[in-house]
A = this chain, B = another copy of it.
Amino acid sequence: MSAAHPPLRILMIGFGNVGRKVMEILSVARHRFPGLTRLHPVWVGVFTRSRGALARSAGLDPQDVLQSLPAESGVPDSHPYRTTLTVAEAVQQLDYDILVELSVLSIEQRGEPVVTWVREALGRGRHVVTANKGPAAFAHAELSATANRAGVRFLFESAVMDGAPVFNMARHALMGSRILEISGILNSTTNYVLRRLEEGSSLAEAVAEAQAAGFAEADPSLDLEGWDAAAKIAVLANVLLEGRVTPPEVARTGITGITPADIRRARDRGCRLKLVCRARRTETGVTARVAPEEIPLDDPFARVEGSGSILRLETDLMGPLLITQENPTLYDTAYGVLNDLLSLAAPV
């Protein structure tokens, strides 16, 4: 461990597939990734909402955590580092440098309780890295201001397009140019379902298939009604266009109303239906929408398949720039988190 790269004390909230993969890459598999040698995590706490929690100020053994907190079950009562602290207490009381927050988005609760945890961690002068869209979708301006006052950072690279470096690119690579308009296909469940509708499935069949293929959640309504896409375009609008748009303020049409006739009409016009997210600057602020659109077959948006996604940025100083992510895996989401951790380990 080099003095130039001190240990990062991490409190992790949420320990599902992404959290496990982050820990696995940084411990078990780290020798395979030479770019990660600068990261020296000390896992001071790993908390879940329903499967218990582990905490140890001197650092948990990641291999033990991976075994003791499997995806399917909780921490055994006998574990020496089992804790009964709540997540809220852990955020307020534990001694950590970075909160790594990997819970799922709640639209109904306007991103809570995660927004509160993030606010409290930042207020205590701790960095926050989150894969959750909620904090930046519902409270980006406030949380960024809190982070600035405390001299820490609020990072969420994996909230949109998994690990594709959307926010880092906009922050560091588009210097001098002003993003005017954003569009994208950012939700894979709807993309998969629309494809199956084109192939003749009913909506119910297509959704069941998407669930079987691992795209869709047990409750797919967040995807089908466009809420997940709305949260993503809200984050993009808030960060890249300096907007103040929350998901309920996004003009939103999902795909549950799409009929076979709609699909046929699009095909007859040489198009495919895609759920497209859009945001742009206007005279009076920033507007955002999510809606199915007919996309001509020769548009790159028409070619996005499976779990892939695409984002088009239009700026004042250059022609449209497209970023496409092909078939991301769990590694990609985990990479977004690692990318943020590396930003904190060696700020650029």
Residues in A lying within 8 Å of B, measured CB to CB: 25, 32-36, 38-39, 162-165, 168-169, 171-178, 298, 300, 303, 316-329, 331-332, 335, 338-339, 342-343, 346, 348
Contacts and interface: CB of A to CB of B under 8 A. Distances in A.
Contacts of A173: 165, 168-169, 172-173, 339
Copies of the chain in the assembly: 2
**Which 7 pairs, one residue from A and one from B, show the smallest C-beta to C-beta distance?**
A165-B173, A172-B172, A168-B173, A322-B324, A35-B176, A175-B342, A318-B335
Contacts of A164: 318, 321
Nearest to A328: B319
A171 to B, nearest CB: 8
Contact of A339 (B35, B38, B175, B300): B175
A322 B319 contact: no
Contacts of A335: 176-177, 317-318
A300 B317 contact: no
A319 B325 contact: yes
B338 A176 contact: yes
Nearest to A326: B320
A178 B33 contact: yes
A135 B93 CA distance: 55
B163 A317 contact: yes
Given A168-B173, A172-B172, A298-B303, A338 B319 contact: no
A98 to B, nearest CB: 15
A324 B316 CA distance: 17
Given A300-B300, A318-B162, A176 B323 contact: no
B176 A39 contact: yes
